[in-house]
C-alpha cells in the first residue's frame, strides 16, 4: 500500500474515532442528568412530564398562534382571569382579583391585584396590559391574532392607521391597578376571551430591552430572558426536545401551586409519543394513534381519556361550482353520510356525529340537531335536483391534506356517496401548504376542513361564515345571515343574543355550504398519578391545580 | 494531488451559488407561503408580515439582498423557529446528525464490507447466500419499519435504549444515537455489501489474481492485499454521497426516535415554507455533498493509480 | 508487497481482439446459457415471474374488490370468522354489514361480560342471534390476509398494489439506469473539464431539495404517471452515474481501450461496445438496489400527492401504513412486506446470476 493511501485512510479513521469518542463522552456528561427522570422520580419530585405535540414556534404570547404554543404559555403567563379547575365556563382570579361590567357587558373594569408580580420582581400594573394590547395592535408587529382585539373600541381604527393615538382605543389604565376596557358592543363572553394568548400581558421592560414594541423574533423568549407572571418560569428550552419550566416563587398564588415543574416534550409522531408513554417517559400524551384507541379502551381504560373538545370536522363546498350551487344537492350530500358508522368504526374516539355546526358545550347554547343520516331523503333530493340515482352527476374531487385519518374518512365518504347516491368522486391529497393554498384561493370542489373554538361562545364558530370573512372560503354569502350576526353583536341580553345566533345557524344549515362530519373529542393517554386533570372543553388547564401522587409512597 | 483537491474546493463556490440560486427561485414559485395557516390571518396581517421579512419586494431584489447576506455567512432568521437564526438552527441540529451519521456510517461500512468480502470469497456457497440475504434485510425493512421495531424491542421490551428524545433518559445503557444509527446503518450496509461482493468478484476473476493463486499466495492475502483495492472501487464511489446523506440526517429516523437532528429541520422547513431555513440547509447539504464526493474521488485515485492520468 | 504505483494490477478485462465484443449478440447468448446453469438465479427468475403473474391476474380471482369499503369490519385478522349483521328497516331493503367475530362483543357493551360471551358463542356455533331489528349470523366470508382498517380485503389490495409498485419500480428504474449509465460513462470517458462539469451538475441535482422539486412539478404539470417517472428518475440516477464513472475511469487507460481509440473507433462505439459491457456487473448490482428504493420513493411521492391516489394503493404505501399499526394489526405490515421482500430477494439472486453470467471472465471458472 502506498504511503499517501495510508495517510489518507489514517486521517479519515482518526476523524471518525474523534467524533465517536466525543459523542460518547458527551453522553455521560452531567448536563444530561437533569432530563433523566423516571416516572417514579418525577412523581416524587412533582415534575409533570407531558408532550404537547410539535415544537412551539415561539413562546411570545402575542406572536403565538397554535394550540401547542398556548399550552406551554399557559404555564408561564397568566391573563386577567385564569381557568378554573374543572369547568371551562367558570373563571378564577388571575392578574385581576375582581372585576365588574355594566348592564350590557360593553364596559368592563378589572382590578389588578396589588400582590401581582413579574418574575423579575416588578409589580404588574394596568399599564402593562395597555402596553400589551398596544403591541398586539401595532400593525408593523404583525400579530396574526390582532383581529381578536378588534372588539376593543377603536382598535381596528388604530390598527389600520385611521387614528395614531392609542388613547382612542377602548383600554385604559385608570391608575396602576384599575384597567378599564370598553368594547364596540356587548360581549358577555369576554372572560372566556381574555384567556386567549392574544389577550395575555407581557412585561414591557423586557420587550423593550430586546427590541422595539414592534420587533418580532427577539431573544426575550429564551430561557434566562423570559419574564413570566404565571405559576412557572422557564428553565431550559432545547428546541425539538424539551422545554422545562419550574415553580415561580414570585407568583401571587405560589402557595397553592402543587407541582415543582413541568417538562414539555415535543414529540410530533403519535406512535413515538405512545411508546414514550409506555416506556414511562411521559405522564400524558397529546393524542393516541388511531389504531391504539380500541386497544387502550378495552385493555387499559384507566390510562386513556376521551374528553369533549370544541371543534367540528367538516368539508367545505365550493358553491361557485355548477351543480354544487344547488342547496338540494348539498343537503343530499349531507344526508347520505352515515356519521355514526364513521365515528364508530374509523375514529373510535367517541366523537359525536355533527348534526349542526356549533358543537355542544358552548355555554348555554344548545347545539342544533338538523342534519342526520337519511339516505332515502338524500336520493329523493338528488332526484329533485335532476340527478336521479346520480345519473349525469359531474365528477367532483375531494381535497384533503395528507393524513391517515383524513384519507380514511374521505375513502369512507367516497364509498357512501357511491352506494347511497350513485355519484362518483375522486380523492386528491395534497401537501399541507399546497392544500391551504387550494382552500384559501377557493380552487377546489370539496375540501376537508376543521375549526377549533377559541373561546366559549358560538360566535367563535359562526362569525367565520359572514360574507368576505377570510375563513369563509366557500363563496357562500347571505346578507340575512350577516345581519343576524351583526344583530347578535349589538345585543346585550345573553338569552336574546343566543336566540339570534340560533336563528343564524338555522339559516346556515338550510343553505349548507359544508358537509358536516363530526364534533371533536380530545383523546390522550394519562397516568393515573396525575391529579386534578379534569376534562375541559377548551383544553385550557390551569397548571397550578395539577398535582402528582407519589404512588410509591402510598404503597408503603 | 493537492492541485486536484484545491481545484475541486474552488469549484465549491460556483456549485453552491447555482444550488442557492435554483433553490431560491424554486421556493418562490412553490405554492403556499410561510404565513398561511388553517386559520387565516387577515390580508393586512399577511401583508405586514411579508413587509417585515422583506417578502413584499420584487423577487430579484429579495435575491440580491439575500445573496449579499449569504456572502457574509448570514442565512437570515428562521420563520419557523421565531427568535432563532438559520445559523443557530443548523448549529444545534447538525452536531446531533453528525453523531448519528458517523456511527451509522461505521456500522454500515463494517457490516457491509465484511458481508461482501465473505460472500465474494465463497461465491455461490452457503457463506455467499447467507451474509447476502441478511444484508438484504436492511433494504427489505425500510427505516420506517425497522426503526419502530428496534424501538419496541430495545426500548420497550429490553429497556436498553431510549424510545424518544436526545437529552433525556440516561438511565438506559445505550446512547440515544445508537438505535437511530443502527436503523440507518443497516439500510446502507445492504448497499455496501452488494457493491463489495460485485466489485470483489470482478477482481477475483482477473488474470493477476489467477497468477497469484497459481504462485501459491494464500487466499486471505489475495483477498485483503490484492483484490480489496480494486474490488472496493464501486463502494468508494458510493461512499461519498452515502456519508454526506448520513450526516445531514434522516427525517424518518429522527421522527421515529424523536431526535432533534438536521434531517427533520430540512424536511420541516420545506413543509413550513421557511425559505431561509430551506436555503440554509440546502446550501449546507450541497457543501457536504461536494466535499465528500471529493474525498471519495481522492480515495478512488489512491486505490487505483491508473485513474490518475 | 506489490508496488501498486507502477505495475498495473488489473489485466485486460476483455481482450480487444476477441470476436465476442464486436458481435454483441453472442455475449448475451453466452450469458443466457450460463444463467440457465445457475439454479439460484433461475429460482429468483421464476419467483419473480410468479409474483408478477399473481399481481396481474390475481385480483380477478380474489372475489373481493380492492376499493369497496366495509367499515364496520375494520381491520380483521387473517382468516378470522366474519359475522353478517342484517338490519331490517321500516322502509327499503334490509341493510347488511359485516363485522369480525372478535369485535361482536363490542356491539353489546351495555350487557354484562357473561351475556356478551354467550352471544358470541351462540353466533360462533352457527346460530342466528336477533336483537331489536338486527340479526347476527356467521357468514362464510373469509379474508386470507385479513382486512385493512376500512374493511377491504388485504390480499386484493396487496396484489393491486403490486401492479403499481412493479410498474413504477421497473419503468422508473430503467429511466434512472439509462440516464445514470450514459451520464457516468460519458463523464468518465471524456474526462477533464467535461467530466468536472457533468459531475458537478450531478452534485447540484443531488443537493436540490427533492420535496420542493416534486411539489413544483405537480403544480406545473398536474399529477400524472409520467411525472412520477420523471421525478424518481431525476434523483435515482445520481449514484449510478458516480459508480459507473469511477469504473470507466479505471478502465479507459487500459490497452484494449487505447487500442480501440487508436483504431479510430467513434467515441459512442467505444463507450457502448467496450466500456459499458465491462462495468455491467456493477450496473446490474446497483440496478437491483435501485428497484426497492424506487418502490419506497413512490410512497413518499404519494404523501406529497404525486403517485397513487386512494383507493388505489402500492406496496410502498401499504408498508408505510402497516408500519404505523404494527403493534395492533401486524398483518397489515406483514403481507405487503413479504411480497416486497420476496420480490427483492428474487431480483437480487437474479441480478447476481446475471452479473456472473455477463462477467466475461467467469466462463473460465
Tell me what pLDDT residue B203 has. 81
Please give the Cα distance from A240 to B254 (Å, whole number): 10
- The neighbour count for residue A265, using CB atoms within 10 Å, is 27
Do A315 and A447 form a contact (C-beta atoms < 8 A)?
yes
Please tell me the predicted confidence (pLDDT) of residue C19.
42
Distance from CA of residue C289 to its chain's centroid? Answer: 10
CB contact under 8 A, A292 and C150: no
- Test C203 with B201 for CB contact under 8 angstroms: no
pLDDT attached to residue B171: 59
Distance CA A273, CA B255 (A): 10
The answer to whether the Cβ–Cβ distance between B303 and A5 falls below 8 Å is yes
pLDDT bucket at A109, cuts 50 / 70 / 90: very high
- Beta-sheet pairing, A446-452 with A396-401: parallel
Q: Are A1 and B224 in contact (CB under 8 A)?
A: no
pLDDT at C268 over 90: no
Query: In this predicted model, which residue has the larger pLDDT, B113 or C253?
Result: B113
Please state, in angstroms and rounded to a whole number, the distance separating the CA atoms of residues B148 and A525: 19
CA distance B38 to chain A (A): 7
Nearest to A411 among C1, C150, C219 (CB): C150
Q: A182-208, pLDDT tens digit by residue?
A: 999 999 999 999 999 999 999 999 999
**Please, which chains are in contact with B (at least 3 CB pairs closer than 8 A)?**
A, C
d(CA C297, CA A499): 55
Backbone angles phi, psi at B215, to 5 degrees: -75, -5
- Would you state the cell numbers that stand for residue B240, as one nine-digit string? 461519498
B104-127 tens-digit pLDDT = 999 999 899 889 889 888 887 888
> Which residues 251-270 of A have a C-beta within 8 angstroms of B?
265-269
Confidence bin at C14 (pLDDT 50/70/90): very low
Work out the minimum CA distance from C92 to partner chain A, whole angstroms: 8
Q: At what angle do helices C225-252 and C210-221 cross, to 10 degrees?
A: 130
- Interval B230-262: pLDDT, tens: 778 878 888 888 888 888 878 889 989 999 999
What's the CA gap between A66 and A286, in Å, rounded?
A: 14
Alpha helices in A385-493 (DSSP H): 404-416, 432-440, 459-462, 479-489
3-state secondary structure of B59: helix
The reply to whether ipTM tops 0.95 is no
Interface of A with C in 363-402 (CB under 8 A): 376, 402
Which residue in this structure is represented by grid cell 394489526? C329
Distances (CA, A) of A336 to A224, A405, A517, C71: 57, 20, 11, 15
A:92-131 residues touching chain B, CB 8 A cutoff: none
For residue C134, what are the β-bridge partners? C87, C131
Residue C364 is predicted with a pLDDT of 40
Instruction: Considering only residues C54 and C358, tell me which one the structure prediction assigns the higher pLDDT.
Output: C54
Strands A171-175 and A178-182 turn out to be antiparallel
pLDDT of the residue at A315: 97
> Please, are residues C99 and C135 in contact by the beta-carbon 8 Å criterion?
no
Kindly tell me if the per-residue pLDDT of B309 is higher than 50. Answer: no
Q: Which residue has the cell 377549533?
A: A452
* Model confidence at A64: pLDDT above 60: yes
The DSSP code sequence of C318-332 is HHHHHHHTTTT-THH
| Residue A28 pLDDT > 70 | no
pLDDT band at A23 (very low <50, low <70, confident <90, very high): low
Please report, for residues A6, B247, B257, the alpha-carbon distance to residue C5 in angstroms, rounded to integers and kept in the order given: 13, 33, 47
**Backbone conformation region of residue B159, classed left if phi is above 0, alpha if psi is from -120 to 50, else beta:** left
Mean local confidence (pLDDT), C155-164? 92
Residue A85 near residue A236, CB atoms below 8 Å:
no
In Å, how far are A349, A410, A538, B247, C329 from C75, measured between CA atoms? 16, 17, 32, 39, 7
What is residue A183's DSSP assignment? B
**What is the pTM (predicted TM-score) of this model?**
0.90
Shortest distance, CA C24 to any CA of chain B (angstroms) = 20
- DSSP type of residue B152: I
Helices C315-324, C154-190: inter-axial angle, 10-degree rounding:
120
Out of C1, C200, C344, the one facing B225 most closely (by C-beta) is C1
Instruction: Average the pLDDT over A269-298 and give the result.
Output: 90
Q: If we measure between CA atoms, which residue out of C218, B48, C208 comes closest to residue A437?
A: C218
The grid cell for C149 is 382498517
Distance between CA atoms of residues C183 and C240, nearest Å: 9
pLDDT confidence of residue C264: 81
For chain C, report the end-to-end CA distance as a whole number of angstroms. Answer: 26
Between B5-19, C190-204, C215-229, the lowest mean confidence (pLDDT) is in C215-229
> Of residues A227 and B200, which shows the higher confidence score?
A227
For residue A398, what is its C-alpha cell? Answer: 375531494
Angle at C213 between CA C211 and CA C218, to 5 degrees: 95
| Residue C16: pLDDT over 70 | no
Residues of A in contact with B84 (CB under 8 A): 239
* The C-alpha cell that represents A511 in the structure block: 343553505
- Under the banding of pLDDT at 50, 70 and 90, the label for residue A305 is very high
Q: Which of the residues A1, A4, A25, A144 would you substitute to probe the B interface, choosing the one with the greatest number of B C-beta atoms within 10 Å?
A: A144
Q: Tens digits of per-residue pLDDT, B18-53?
A: 999 999 999 998 888 888 888 888 888 889 889 988
pLDDT more than 90, % of chain A = 70
How far apart (Å, rounded) are the C-alpha atoms in residues A62 and A133? 9
Cα–Cα distances in Å, from A482 out to A148, A221, A463? 19, 40, 9
β A232-238/A178-182 pair status = unpaired
* In the predicted structure, residue C301 carries a pLDDT above the cut 90: no
A451 forms bridges with which residues in the sheet? A312
| Mean pLDDT along residues A101-126 | 94
Q: How far is B125 from chain A (nearest CA, A)?
A: 31
Q: Which residues of A391-405 are buried (b: 16+ CB within 10 A; e: fewer)?
A: eebeebebbbbbebe
What's the distance, Cα to Cα, between the start and end of chain A in Å?
A: 69
Digit-coded pLDDT (tens) for A415-428: 999 989 999 999 99
The per-residue pLDDT for C26 is 65
How far apart, in whole angstroms, are the C-alpha atoms of residue B237 and residue C245?
Answer: 9
pLDDT at A204: 95
Quote the mean pLDDT of chain A. 90
Closest by CA position to A368, among listed A451, A461, A449: A461
The H or E element that residue A11 is part of is helix A3-27
Tally A–B CB contacts below 8 A: 196
| Residues A518 and A341: beta-carbon distance below 8 Å | no
- Asked if residues B257 and B180 have their Cβ atoms less than 8 Å apart, the reply is yes
Confidence at A444, pLDDT banded by 50, 70, 90 = very high
Q: Let me know the angle formed at the C-alpha of C137 by C133 and C139, rounded to the nearest 5 degrees.
A: 130
More confident residue, A530 or C191: A530
User: Given CA atoms B164, B170, B172, B177 in this order, what sign does their dihedral have?
Assistant: positive
pLDDT for the residue C360: 62
Residue B308 banded pLDDT, cuts 50, 70, 90: low
Contacts of A512 (CB under 8 A, 6+ apart): A317, A327, A330, A331, A334, A371
- How far apart are alpha carbons B170 and A35 in whole angstroms? 8
A2 touching C (Cβ < 8 Å): yes
Amino acid at each position: 500500500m502506498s504511503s499517501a493511501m495510508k495517510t489518507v485512510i489514517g486521517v479519515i479513521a482518526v476523524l471518525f474515532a474523534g467524533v465517536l469518542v466525543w459523542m460518547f463522552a458527551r453522553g455521560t456528561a452531567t448536563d444530561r442528568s437533569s432530563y433523566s427522570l423516571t416516572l417514579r422520580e418525577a412523581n416524587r419530585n412533582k415534575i409533570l412530564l407531558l408532550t404537547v405535540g410539535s415544537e412551539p414556534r415561539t413562546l411570545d404570547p402575542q406572536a403565538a398562534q397554535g394550540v401547542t404554543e398556548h399550552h406551554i404559555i399557559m404555564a408561564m403567563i397568566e391573563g386577567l382571569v385564569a381557568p378554573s379547575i374543572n369547568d371551562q365556563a367558570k373563571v378564577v382570579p388571575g392578574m385581576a382579583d375582581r372585576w365588574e361590567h355594566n348592564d350590557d357587558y360593553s364596559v368592563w373594569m378589572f382590578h389588578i391585584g396589588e400582590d401581582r408580580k413579574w418574575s423579575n420582581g416588578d409589580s404588574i400594573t394596568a399599564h402593562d396590559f395597555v402596553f400589551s394590547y398596544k403591541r398586539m395592535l401595532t400593525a408593523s408587529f404583525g400579530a396574526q391574532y390582532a383581529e381578536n382585539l378588534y372588539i376593543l373600541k377603536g382598535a381596528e381604527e388604530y390598527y389600520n392607521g385611521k387614528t395614531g393615538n392609542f388613547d382612542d382605543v377602548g383600554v385604559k389604565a385608570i391608575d396602576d391597578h384599575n384597567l378599564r376596557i370598553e368594547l364596540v358592543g356587548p360581549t358577555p363572553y369576554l372572560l372566556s376571551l381574555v384567556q386567549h394568548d392574544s389577550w395575555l400581558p407581557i412585561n414591557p421592560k423586557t420587550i423593550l430591552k430586546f427590541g422595539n414594541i414592534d420587533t418580532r423574533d427577539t431573544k426575550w423568549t429564551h430561557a434566562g430572558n423570559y419574564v413570566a407572571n404565571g405559576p412557572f418560569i422557564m428553565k431550559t428550552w432545547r428546541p425539538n426536545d424539551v422545554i422545562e419550566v419550574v415553580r415561580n416563587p414570585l407568583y401571587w398564588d405560589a402557595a397553592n401551586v402543587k407541582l415543582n415543574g413541568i417538562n414539555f416534550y415535543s414529540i410530533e409522531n403519535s406512535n413515538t409519543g405512545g411508546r414514550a408513554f409506555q416506556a414511562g417517559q411521559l405522564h400524558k400524551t397529546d393524542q393516541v394513534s388511531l389504531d391504539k384507541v380500541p386497544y387502550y379502551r378495552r385493555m387499559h381504560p384507566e390510562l386513556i381519556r376521551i374528553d369533549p373538545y370544541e371543534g367540528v370536522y367538516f368539508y367545505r363546498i365550493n358553491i361557485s361550482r355548477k351543480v354544487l350551487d344547488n342547496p338540494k344537492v348539498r343537503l343530499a350530500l349531507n344526508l347520505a353520510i352515515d356519521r355514526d358508522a364513521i365515528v364508530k368504526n374509523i375514529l373510535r374516539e367517541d366523537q359525536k356525529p355533527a348534526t349542526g355546526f356549533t358543537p355542544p358545550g358552548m355555554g348555554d347554547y344548545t347545539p342544533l340537531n338538523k342534519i342526520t343520516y337519511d339516505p332515502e331523503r338524500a336520493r329523493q333530493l338528488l332526484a329533485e335536483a335532476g340527478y336521479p340515482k346520480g345519473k349525469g352527476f359531474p365528477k367532483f374531487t375531494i381535497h384533503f391534506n395528507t393524513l391517515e385519518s383524513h384519507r380514511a374518512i374521505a375513502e369512507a365518504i367516497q364509498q357512501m356517496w357511491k352506494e347511497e347516491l350513485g355519484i362518483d368522486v375522486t380523492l386528491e391529497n395534497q401537501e399541507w401548504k399546497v392544500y391551504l393554498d387550494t382552500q384559501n384561493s377557493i380552487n377546489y370542489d370539496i375540501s376537508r376542513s376543521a375549526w377549533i373554538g377559541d373561546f366559549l361562545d358560538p360566535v367563535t364558530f359562526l362569525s367565520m361564515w359572514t360574507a368576505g370573512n377570510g375563513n369563509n372560503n366557500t363563496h357562500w354569502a347571505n346578507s340575512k345571515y350577516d345581519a343576524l350576526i351583526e344583530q347578535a353583536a349589538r345585543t346585550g341580553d345573553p338569552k336574546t343574543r343566543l336566540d339570534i345566533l340560533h336563528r343564524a345557524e338555522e339559516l346556515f344549515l338550510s343553505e349548507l355550504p359544508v358537509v358536516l362530519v363530526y364534533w371533536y373529542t380530545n383523546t390522550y393517554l394519562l397516568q393515573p398519578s396525575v391529579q386534578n386533570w379534569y376534562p375541559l372543553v377548551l383544553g385550557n388547564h390551569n397548571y397550578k391545580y395539577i398535582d402528582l401522587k407519589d404512588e410509591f409512597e402510598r404503597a408503603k | 494531488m493537492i492541485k486536484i483537491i484545491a481545484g475541486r474546493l474552488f469549484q465549491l463556490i460556483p456549485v453552491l451559488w447555482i444550488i442557492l440560486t435554483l433553490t431560491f427561485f424554486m421556493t418562490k414559485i412553490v405554492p403556499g407561503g410561510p404565513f398561511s395557516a388553517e386559520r387565516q390571518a387577515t390580508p393586512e396581517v399577511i401583508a405586514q408580515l411579508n413587509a417585515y421579512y422583506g417578502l413584499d419586494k420584487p423577487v430579484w431584489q429579495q435575491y440580491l439582498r439575500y445573496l449579499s447576506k449569504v456572502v457574509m455567512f448570514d442565512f437570515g432568521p428562521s420563520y419557523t423557529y421565531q427568535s432563532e437564526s438559520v445559523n443557530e438552527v443548523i448549529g444545534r441540529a447538525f452536531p446531533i446528525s453528525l453523531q448519528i451519521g458517523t456511527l451509522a456510517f461505521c456500522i454500515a461500512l463494517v457490516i457491509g464490507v465484511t458481508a461482501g468480502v465473505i460472500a465474494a470469497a465463497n461465491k455461490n456457497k452457503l457463506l455467499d447466500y447467507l451474509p447476502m440475504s441478511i444484508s438484504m434485510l436492511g433494504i427489505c425493512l425500510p427505516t420506517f419499519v425497522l426503526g419502530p421495531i428496534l424501538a419496541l424491542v430495545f426500548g420497550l421490551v429490553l429497556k436498553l435504549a431510549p424510545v424518544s428524545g436526545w437529552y433525556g433518559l440516561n438511565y438506559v445503557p445505550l446512547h440515544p444515537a445508537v438505535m437511530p444509527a443502527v436503523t440507518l446503518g443497516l439500510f446502507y450496509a445492504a448497499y455496501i455489501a452488494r457493491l463489495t461482493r460485485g466489485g470483489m468478484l470482478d477482481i477475483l476473476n482477473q488474470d493477476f489474481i489467477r497468477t497469484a493463486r497459481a504462485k501459491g499466495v494464500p487466499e486471505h492475502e489475495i483477498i485483503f492485499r490484492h483484490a480489496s483495492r480494486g474490488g472496493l472501487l464501486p463502494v468508494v464511489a458510493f461512499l461519498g454521497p452515502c456519508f454526506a446523506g448520513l450526516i445531514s440526517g434522516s427525517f424518518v429516523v429522527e421522527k421515529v426516535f424523536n431526535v432533534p437532528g438536521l434531517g427533520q429541520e430540512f424536511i420541516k422547513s420545506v413543509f413550513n415554507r421557511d425559505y431561509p431555513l430551506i436555503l440554509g440547509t440546502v446550501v449546507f447539504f450541497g457543501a457536504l455533498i461536494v466535499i465528500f464526493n471529493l474525498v471519495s474521488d481522492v480515495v478512488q485515485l489512491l486505490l487505483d493509480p491508473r485513474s490518475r492520468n | 508487497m506489490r508496488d501498486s504505483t507502477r505495475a498495473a494490477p488489473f489485466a485486460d478485462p476483455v481482450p480487444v481482439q476477441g470476436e465476442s465484443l464486436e458481435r454483441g449478440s453472442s455475449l448475451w447468448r453466452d450469458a443466457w446459457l450460463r444463467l440457465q446453469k445457475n439454479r439460484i438465479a433461475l429460482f429468483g427468475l421464476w419467483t419473480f415471474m410468479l409474483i408478477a403473474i399473481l399481481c396481474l391476474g390475481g385480483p380477478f380471482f380474489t372475489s373481493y374488490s380492492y376499493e369497496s369499503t366495509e367499515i364496520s369490519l375494520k381491520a380483521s385478522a387473517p382468516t378470522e370468522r366474519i359475522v353478517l349483521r342484517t338490519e331490517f328497516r321500516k322502509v327499503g331493503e334490509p341493510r347488511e354489514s359485516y363485522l369480525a367475530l372478535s369485535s361482536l362483543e363490542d356491539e353489546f357493551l351495555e350487557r354484562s361480560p357473561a351475556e356478551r360471551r354467550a352471544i358470541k358463542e351462540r353466533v360462533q356455533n352457527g346460530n342466528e342471534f336477533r336483537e331489536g331489528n338486527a340479526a347476527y349470523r356467521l357468514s362464510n366470508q373469509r379474508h386470507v390476509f385479513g382486512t385493512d382498517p376500512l374493511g377491504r380485503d388485504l390480499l386484493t389490495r396487496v396484489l393491486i398494489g403490486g401492479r403499481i409498485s412493479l410498474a413504477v419500480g421497473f419503468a422508473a428504474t430503467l429511466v434512472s439506469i439509462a440516464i445514470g449509465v450514459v451520464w457516468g460513462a460519458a463523464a468518465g470517458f471524456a474526462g477533464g473539464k467535461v467530466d468536472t462539469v457533468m459531475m458537478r451538475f450531478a452534485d447540484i441535482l443531488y443537493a436540490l431539495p427533492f420535496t420542493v422539486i416534486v411539489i413544483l412539478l405537480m403544480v406545473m404539470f398536474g399529477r400524472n404517471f409520467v411525472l412520477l417517472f420523471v421525478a424518481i428518475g431525476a434523483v435515482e440516477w445520481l449514484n449510478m452515474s458516480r459508480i459507473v464513472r469511477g469504473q470507466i475511469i479505471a478502465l479507459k487507460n487500459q490497452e484494449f481501450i487505447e487500442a480501440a481509440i487508436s483504431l479510430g473507433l467513434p467515441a459512442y462505439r467505444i463507450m457502448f461496445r467496450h466500456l459499458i459491457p465491462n462495468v455491467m456487473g456493477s450496473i446490474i448490482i446497483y440496478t437491483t438496489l435501485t428497484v426497492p428504493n424506487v418502490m419506497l420513493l413512490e410512497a413518499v411521492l404519494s404523501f406529497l400527492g404525486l403517485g397513487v391516489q386512494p383507493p388505489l394503493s402500492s406496496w410502498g404505501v401499504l408498508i408505510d401504513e402497516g408500519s404505523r399499526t404494527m403493534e395492533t394489526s401486524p398483518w397489515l405490515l406483514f403481507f405487503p412486506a413479504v411480497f416486497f421482500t420476496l420480490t427483492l430477494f428474487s431480483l437480487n439472486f437474479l441480478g447476481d446470476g446475471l452479473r456472473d453470467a455477463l462477467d466475461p471472465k467467469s466462463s473460465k471458472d
